[in-house]
Chain A
Amino acid sequence: MRNEIRFLLGHEMRSLRSVDPTMTVLDYLRQDERLVGTKEGCNEGDCGACTVVLARLVDGGLRYEAVNACIQFVGTLDGCQLLTVEHLVGEDGSLHPVQQAMVDCHGSQCGFCTPGFVMSLFALTRHSETVPDDGVIDDVFAGNLCRCTGYAPIVRAAGQAYELKPRQDHIAAREAETIAALGRLADTETVAVGDGERRFFAPATADALAELFEANPEATIVAGSTDVGLWVTKEMRRLDTVIYLGRIAELARIEEGADGIEIGAGINYTEAMATLARHYPDMGEVIRRLGSVQIRNAGTIGGNVANGSPIGDSPPLLIAAGAMLHLRRGDARRSMPIEDFFLDYGKQDRAPGEFVEKIVVPYPAGGTRFRAYKIAKRFDQDISAVLAAFQLWLDGDEIKEARVAFGGMAATPKRAPAVEARLAGSPWNEDTVQAAMAALEQDFTPITDWRASADYRLRVSQNLLMRCYVETTDATQDTRLVGDRSLAHV
C-alpha cells in the first residue's frame, strides 16, 4: 500500500496524502493551486473549457492526452504529468506556438473557452507531426465549445500553429527529465489515500482489484469517470469509496485473440478505436462520434457496458457483433452473451463485488455486412437519440441470419427479435426491408424526451434499415453526411 498520490504539476512534483476521493482536478487546480487559467464551463465534460493535458509514461515514452479536468478525480493523476494552459508559457513569458497562433488568427473573442482549445491543440501537436485535414481537426475540437467565433479562426490557428514548430517547445526540451521523473513514480503498489473515512484506491493489478472490490463491494468502480464524474458534479452524490482502474495495465489492453477482439475493461475508447475499426469500420465511425477526444481519452467501453445505460453507444454495437461479456468476482469468473447482461433500466446482471473484466468481440464472418448509425441532434459529442447496429449474414441475395440491436429505443440496449425474424431467410430486397421496417413496431415502444419524440425514434429506426439496405446494395448512392463516406460501400 502506498498512502499518497504522486504526480507532476508541470515540472513540479506533488505528493498528496489527504485527498477527497471525488475532488475534481478542476477544483484542485483552481482552489488549491490557484491555477485559474483552466475554466469551469459546464462541469459535465461537455464544453471543454476545463481541458488539460495528461502525459503518461507508455513504453518508455510519453503519451499526451487531453482530458476534462471537471470530471476527473485528483487521485487519477497518480503517475502522470498534468499540464495546464499556464504551463505552455515559456519561462521567459513567451507564448507557446499554439498560443501565438491563436492570437495571430484572432482565435479568441471572449476568451473563456480559449484555454481549453489551446490545450486540445497542444495535445494534437503531440499526436500529429503535420497539420491534419479538416475532418481530424473537427474531431480534435469536438469537445471544445466556442460560442463567439464560429470556429473558423480557431481552425485557421491550428494550421498556423504548425508553421511555428510547436513540437520543438520547452516541454519537449524537458521530456527526458519528465520521463525519468515519471519512471521513478511508477510502482505496483496499491494506492490508498483518503479524507477521513472516505477512501480512494488505485490498485495496479487485476488481482489486487479483485481482492479490493470483493472486500469493499459497496465501492464505486471508476475507469474514465466520464459518467461517475457527473454523479458527483451534477447530482452531488457522496461516494465514500472509489476504486480506480486506470493503473491496471493488464485491463488497459485490446488484443486480437484467437476467438476475437479482446477488449480489456480499462482500455479507453481512443486506444480501442483503431483495432475495432479495422474489423468493423462502422464501430470505428460510431466511436469517433462518441463523446469527444477528451471523453474518449478517459471513458472506456467496459464502463459504458457496466453502467448499463439505455443510451450508451457501445452496447448495441457489441450486441449486433455477438460479443461475450466476461465478469470476475474475487477468483470466480463467468461469461455471457452481452445482451443478457442488461436486465432492466439501471439493472444489470452483476453481483456485488463483481466487475467487468473484458469483452470479446468475434471477428466478422465472411459475407456479413455490419452497419451502425448514430442519430442525434448534433453529429459530434451528443448523446444518441437512437443508435442502430445491424449485422447481416448474406448468402448471395439471401439473408441467412440477422443481428439487429438498438440503443435509445427501450429501457436497455436491446435486440429487435421481430425484425431479425423477418429478415432471416428472406431475400435482401426492398420488400423485405419494408416488411422489417413494419416489424420494428412490434419490437419497440420508445419514449418521448428532449432528445427525440417517440414518433421520430421509431420512424428514424425504420428508415435506418432502409439506409442499411441502400448502402449494401447500391454503390452509386451517397448515404453519409459525415465521416468516411467510402465506409458505406465496405
Chain B
Amino acid sequence: MSDTIIGAVREPRRHDSGHKHVSGQAVYIDDLPEPVGLLHVYLGISTEAHARVTRIDLDPVRAAEGVALVLAAADIPGENDISPTHRHDEPVFATDLVEYAGQPIFAVAARTRDLARRAARLAIVEYEPLEPVLSVEAAKKTGKMVTEPLVLSRGDAAAALQQADRRLSGRMEIGGQDHFYLEGQIAMALPGEDDEVTVISSTQHPTEIQRMVAHVLGAPANAVTVEVRRMGGAFGGKETQGNLFAVVAAMVAKKTGRAAKARPDRDDDMIITGKRHDFLVDYDVGFDDDGRIDAVEMTFAARCGWSSDLSGPVTDRSLFHADNCYFYPNVRLTSEPLKTNTVSNTAFRGFGGPQGMLGGERLIEEIAFATGKDPLEIRKRNLYGGGDRSLTPYHQPVEDNIALEIIEQLEESSGYWRRREEIGAYNRESRVLKRGIALTPVKFGISFTATQYNQAGALVHVYTDGSIHLNHGGTEMGQGLYTKVAQVVAEEFQVDIDRVKITSTTTGKVPNTSATAASSGSDMNGMAAQAAARAIKERLIDFAAENWGVPREQILFLPGRVRVGNQEVAFSELTLKAYNARVQLSSTGFYKTPKIHWDRDTGRGRPFYYFAYGAACTEATVDVLSGEYRFDRVDILHDVGNSLNPALDMGQIEGGFVQGMGWLTMEELWWDEKGALRTHAPSTYKIPACGDRPRVFNVEILQNGQNREDTIYRSKAVGEPPLMLGISALHAISDAVASVADHRICPRLDPPATPERVLMTVERLRAASREGAS
C-alpha cells in the first residue's frame, strides 16, 4: 500500500485538463456537436455612440437567405434588462436611444453563422445623433454618474495637507484594458419542455446567467439550467459580459424550439463588451522632508460607460487599494463612477484595485523626486507598521502585514542597490539606450466587498465502487480551480486524485452560487467541498465504528484505505459496505467567509478577510530616440500563504505579472472622435507576445508562507494580486526615462506607456531640463 496519495494538497499537480488542452480534446462550447437544426445568432449593433433611433427596419434582415427569426426589444417575453446590479439601466436591445457604438439593437438567427452574420448587416437603422460624452474629462464636466460614489476618510486630510511641511498635487491618467480571453463570448441554448431551457455558457457566473435568462424570458429561475465545463480564459470579462449572449440564445431557442448558439466574432466581441475601467486620478499629498506621508486626498474618476454594470464595486475597490501597502495618517478618497457613451466597463482581474494602487504608487514616485530620495526608501518609510500606523482608510487594521519582510528579501535577492549603481554608470555612457529599475510591493484585500457573495456550495457523491463525483459553484477559466478543489477532496478521503471525477459547474447541482471572481475561487469552493467531504467522512466513520465495533478515534483514513482498529479496509470496500448498510454517501457542503462586514454608508468595516502580498523588481531598457523598451530582468517574491498547489500558483504569478505589464505598457484602447473603438482585434490591440516576456524572469513563492486566518489548508488567494506586480514595469520605464533629466523631474509617465507615450515623456523631460538649466 502506498504511503501517499497522488494529487494531495501542496502537490504541484498538473492542470486536470492539461492532457486534453494539448491534444485538442478539451471541449469548449463551440466544439460541442451541434444539435440538428441549430440556429446561429448574430447581433445587429449601433454605429453611433449617442443618438436617438428614428427608424429601425428589419425587413431586409428577415428576408435574407437562411434567416429563421429576428428579435428586437418588442419581442422580449420578459424584461428588456440585464443589469447585474438590478438598476434597470442595461437593456438587452436598444429601443429609441443608443448610448454607445456597439450597443445591440437586434439579433438575427439563421441556418449558418455566415448567413446570420451577413443578414445582420442588412438592417436599416436611422439615427439622430446626440452629443456623445466620451472621455473621463468630458464626463467630469457633466457630473453624471452611473451609481453612487464612495468616500473613505480618516483623520482630517484637508487640515493636515495645509499643515504639511511639503505638499504637491497632480493628475494621472490610467488607460483601460481589453480582457482578450482567447475564447470569445459564446452561449448555446437548448430548449426544453414547458418553460425550461438549458444554457451552456462561457461564464464565470452561472447563477447570474440563470437569473438573467429567467428574467428576460419571464420564467422562474427553476426553469433555467446553466452549465459550464471550462472557459478559454475570462479574467473578469465573463463575470457579467456573457449575459447578453446567453439571453439572446435562450430567447431564440424558446421562440423557435431549436437549439441556438450565439458567438460574436473577435471584433464584435471587443466592440460590444466591457473592459477594464480607465481612470483620471487627481491627487494631493502632504509629506515631510524625509518623505513620510502626512495626508492624502485623491479622487478616482472612472469611465464607466453607458450603464452601471459592476462599476460601483469596481470604483469602490479602487479606493480600497489606493493605499497599497502605505499608511496614510490623514486621508480622504473619493470615487466618481462616471457615465460616458462608451462600452460599459466591467470586472477585470484586480477589479479597480490596480488603478487605486497605481495612484498610491504615483504618490510615492512624486515624493521620491521631490525629496531626491530613492523611491524604494520612500516606499519602506511609509509602510503600514504596528500600533497607530495600522489603520486603513476604511478603518480595518492591517493585522497580517508582511510587506517589509517581502520587500527586504527581494531587495537582497534582486541586488537592487548594486544594480541601481550599475544602471547609473551605464546611463552616463549610453546615449540612445537608458536603463531603469523599480521595486514595487502589492497588498491586495481578499473577499468580495459585497458581503453576500462570500458564500459557496459544493456537492460530493461517493459511489459504491469508491469513486467520487465532485461538483461546486466555482468555474474553471484556466486558473486550475477544479484541480485545486479536487486535491482538497482527494486529501480528505485520502484517495488518488484520479478517483475524483471533476464535473461541469451547473446551477442544477449547486444553486445560488457567486461569481468565480475576487480571487476567491479556491478559498470558498475548497472550503465548501471540504465540508461536503467531511460530512460523508463522518458518516463513514460512524458506520465503521458501529460495524467493526471500534471507537471512532481508531478509524483513520490512510492513502487508498481506512484503518479500522487493527485492520485496514480498502476505501472502496468501506463505501460498498456503507451503502449496503444504507448510509447516505452524498452530501452538500457550504461555506461562508467569517469575520467580514462592511458598511458602505459610513465607509467603515472589515471588507477583507485577509491580505495577500507580493513584490516585484523590474529592470527596463528604454530607447530614448524611439520610446521603445524591453524588460531585461524581473524578480518576484509572492505570498500565497501555504500553497495548495505551487505549480498552479506559479502560473498565476507569472501570467498575472505579464498581463499587468501588458496593461501598463503596450495595450492601448483607442476610440475615434465619434466614439468608435478602433482597436478591436489582435491586429490593432497588442497584448504581450512571447518576446515581450522579461529576458530574465525569476519568480519565487514566499517560503514558509502561512495565512493567519483559517483558510483552506492555510493557503492564500492568488488570482488577482500578481497582476499588480506589473506596476513595477511601469515604474522601471519611468526610472529610465527620468535619467534624461538627471532624475530631477518626476516623469509622470501615465499608462499605457506605449513607445509613443515614452518618447513624448522623454521629450517633455528634456525640454523641461533645458529650461531649468538655462
Contact A137 B690 (CB under 8 A): yes
Whether B691 sits at the interface, judged by CB under 8 Å, is yes
Instruction: Identify the stretch in B17-25, B147-155, B542-550 within 8 Å (CB) of chain A at 4 or more residues.
Output: B17-25
Nearest-CB distance from A264 to chain B (Å)?
Answer: 27
Contact of B690 (CB < 8 Å), options: A89, A144, A148 = A144
Contact A106 B648 (CB under 8 A): yes
Assembled-state Cα–Cα distance A99/B26 (Å): 13
Contact B686 A47 (CB under 8 A): no
Assembled-state Cα–Cα distance A404/B688 (Å): 31
Contact B687 A147 (CB under 8 A): yes
Contact A110 B230 (CB under 8 A): yes
Q: Please indicate the chain A residues that have their CB under 8 angstroms from the CB of B33 in the complex.
A: 34
Q: Please indicate the chain B residues that have their CB under 8 angstroms from the CB of A104 in the complex.
A: 14
Interface residues in B464-492 (C-beta closer than 8 Å to A): 477-480
Nearest-CB distance from B20 to chain A (Å)?
Answer: 7
Assembled-state Cα–Cα distance A456/B754 (Å): 11
Contact of B23 (CB < 8 Å), options: A95, A464, A470 = A95
Whether B692 sits at the interface, judged by CB under 8 Å, is yes
Whether B11 sits at the interface, judged by CB under 8 Å, is no
Contact B682 A44 (CB under 8 A): yes
Whether B307 sits at the interface, judged by CB under 8 Å, is no
Whether B327 sits at the interface, judged by CB under 8 Å, is no
Assembled-state Cα–Cα distance A119/B121 (Å): 35
Contact A106 B681 (CB under 8 A): no
B: number of interface residues (CB 8 Å): 88
Whether B8 sits at the interface, judged by CB under 8 Å, is no
Q: Which of B19, B431, B658, B686 has the most CB of A within 10 A?
A: B686
Interface residues in A1-49 (C-beta closer than 8 Å to B): 30, 34-44, 46-47, 49
Q: Which of B26, B118, B648, B682 has the most CB of A within 10 A?
A: B682
Assembled-state Cα–Cα distance A56/B100 (Å): 48
Contact B18 A464 (CB under 8 A): no
Whether B232 sits at the interface, judged by CB under 8 Å, is yes
Instruction: Identify the stretch in B411-419, B508-516, B618-626, B701-709 within 8 Å (CB) of chain A at 4 or more residues.
Output: B618-626
Instruction: Identify the stretch in A361-369, A375-383, A412-420 within 8 Å (CB) of chain B at 4 or more residues.
Output: A375-383
Contact A378 B689 (CB under 8 A): yes
The contact string, 1 if C-beta is below 8 Å from chain B, for chain A 449-471, is 11111011001100110110010
Assembled-state Cα–Cα distance A376/B668 (Å): 12
Assembled-state Cα–Cα distance A42/B180 (Å): 10
Assembled-state Cα–Cα distance A396/B213 (Å): 77
Q: Please indicate the chain A residues that have their CB under 8 angstroms from the CB of B650 in the complex.
A: 106
A138-B756 CB under 8 A given contacts A150-B655, A236-B117: no
The contact string, 1 if C-beta is below 8 Å from chain A, for chain B 174-198, is 0000011111100000000000000
Contact of B18 (CB < 8 Å), options: A85, A102, A381 = A102
Number of A-B pairs, beta carbon distance below 8 Å: 268
Contact B693 A151 (CB under 8 A): yes
Assembled-state Cα–Cα distance A42/B681 (Å): 7
The residue of chain B having its C-beta at the shortest distance from the C-beta of A121 within the complex is: B22
The residue of chain B having its C-beta at the shortest distance from the C-beta of A36 within the complex is: B31
Interface residues in B670-715 (C-beta closer than 8 Å to A): 670, 678-679, 681-684, 686-693, 695, 697, 699
Contact of B182 (CB < 8 Å), options: A39, A89, A459, A482 = A39
Contact B430 A477 (CB under 8 A): yes
Whether A441 sits at the interface, judged by CB under 8 Å, is no
The contact string, 1 if C-beta is below 8 Å from chain B, for chain A 251-269, is 0000000000000000000
A118-B22 CB under 8 A given contacts A377-B754, A380-B689: yes
Whether B574 sits at the interface, judged by CB under 8 Å, is no
Interface residues in B114-140 (C-beta closer than 8 Å to A): 117-118, 121
Assembled-state Cα–Cα distance A145/B687 (Å): 8
Assembled-state Cα–Cα distance A148/B656 (Å): 7
Assembled-state Cα–Cα distance A478/B181 (Å): 37
Q: Please indicate the chain B residues that have their CB under 8 angstroms from the CB of A111 in the complex.
A: 15, 17-18, 20-22, 26, 230, 232, 478
Assembled-state Cα–Cα distance A46/B270 (Å): 15
Whether B627 sits at the interface, judged by CB under 8 Å, is yes
Whether B233 sits at the interface, judged by CB under 8 Å, is yes
Assembled-state Cα–Cα distance A134/B693 (Å): 11
Nearest-CB distance from A108 to chain B (Å)?
Answer: 4
Assembled-state Cα–Cα distance A95/B657 (Å): 30
Whether B231 sits at the interface, judged by CB under 8 Å, is yes
Assembled-state Cα–Cα distance A148/B20 (Å): 17
The residue of chain A having its C-beta at the shortest distance from the C-beta of B31 within the complex is: A36
The contact string, 1 if C-beta is below 8 Å from chain A, for chain B 636-651, is 0000000000011011
The residue of chain B having its C-beta at the shortest distance from the C-beta of A35 within the complex is: B24
Name the prevailing secondary structure of the A interface residues: loop
Whether B564 sits at the interface, judged by CB under 8 Å, is no
Whether B79 sits at the interface, judged by CB under 8 Å, is no
Whether A152 sits at the interface, judged by CB under 8 Å, is yes
For chain A, give the interface size range: 35 or more
The contact string, 1 if C-beta is below 8 Å from chain B, for chain A 205-217, is 0000000000000
Assembled-state Cα–Cα distance A142/B621 (Å): 21
Whether A113 sits at the interface, judged by CB under 8 Å, is yes
Whether A155 sits at the interface, judged by CB under 8 Å, is yes
Whether A442 sits at the interface, judged by CB under 8 Å, is no
Contact of B432 (CB < 8 Å), options: A38, A106, A110, A478 = A478
Assembled-state Cα–Cα distance A94/B180 (Å): 32
Contact B24 A37 (CB under 8 A): yes
Contact of A112 (CB < 8 Å), options: B233, B630, B760 = B233
Whether B284 sits at the interface, judged by CB under 8 Å, is no
Nearest-CB distance from A89 to chain B (Å)?
Answer: 5
Whether B381 sits at the interface, judged by CB under 8 Å, is no
Contact B22 A147 (CB under 8 A): no
Q: Which of A49, A234, A478 has the most CB of B within 10 A?
A: A478
Whether B235 sits at the interface, judged by CB under 8 Å, is yes
Contact A103 B432 (CB under 8 A): no
Whether A479 sits at the interface, judged by CB under 8 Å, is yes
A377-B755 CB under 8 A given contacts A109-B15, A153-B654: yes
Q: Please indicate the chain B residues that have their CB under 8 angstroms from the CB of A155 in the complex.
A: 690, 693
The residue of chain A having its C-beta at the shortest distance from the C-beta of B12 within the complex is: A106
Contact A46 B681 (CB under 8 A): yes
Contact B657 A150 (CB under 8 A): yes
Contact of A450 (CB < 8 Å), options: B24, B231, B670 = B670
Contact A148 B432 (CB under 8 A): no
Assembled-state Cα–Cα distance A34/B27 (Å): 12
Interface residues in B727-774 (C-beta closer than 8 Å to A): 754-756, 759-760, 763
Assembled-state Cα–Cα distance A107/B27 (Å): 18
The residue of chain B having its C-beta at the shortest distance from the C-beta of A111 within the complex is: B21
The contact string, 1 if C-beta is below 8 Å from chain B, for chain A 60-97, is 00000000000000000000000011101100000100
Contact of A110 (CB < 8 Å), options: B231, B266, B628, B678 = B231
Contact A481 B628 (CB under 8 A): yes
Whether A141 sits at the interface, judged by CB under 8 Å, is yes
Contact B626 A375 (CB under 8 A): yes
Contact A467 B626 (CB under 8 A): yes
Q: Please indicate the chain B residues that have their CB under 8 angstroms from the CB of A86 in the complex.
A: 23-24
Contact B678 A43 (CB under 8 A): no
Contact A36 B24 (CB under 8 A): yes
Nearest-CB distance from B29 to chain A (Å)?
Answer: 11
A110-B691 CB under 8 A given contacts A152-B654, A375-B628, A481-B629: no
Q: Please indicate the chain A residues that have their CB under 8 angstroms from the CB of B266 in the complex.
A: 41-44
Q: Please indicate the chain A residues that have their CB under 8 angstroms from the CB of B23 in the complex.
A: 37, 85-86, 88-89, 95, 99
Nearest-CB distance from A374 to chain B (Å)?
Answer: 10
Known A99-B22, A147-B655; further 7 A-B contacts with Cβ < 8 A: A42-B266, A112-B181, A141-B689, A150-B657, A383-B684, A460-B759, A479-B623
Q: Could you jot down 11 A-B contacts, CB within 8 Å?
A: A44-B266, A44-B682, A99-B19, A106-B18, A109-B478, A145-B687, A149-B655, A151-B658, A378-B688, A460-B627, A460-B759
Listed from nearest, the 7 A-B pairs whose CB atoms lie closest are A37-B24, A110-B478, A112-B232, A111-B21, A150-B658, A109-B478, A138-B691
Interface of B toward A, CB cutoff 8 Å: 14-15, 17-28, 30-31, 33, 117-118, 121, 179-184, 230-235, 265-267, 429-433, 477-480, 621, 623, 625-630, 647-648, 650-651, 654-659, 666, 668, 670, 678-679, 681-684, 686-693, 695, 697, 699, 754-756, 759-760, 763
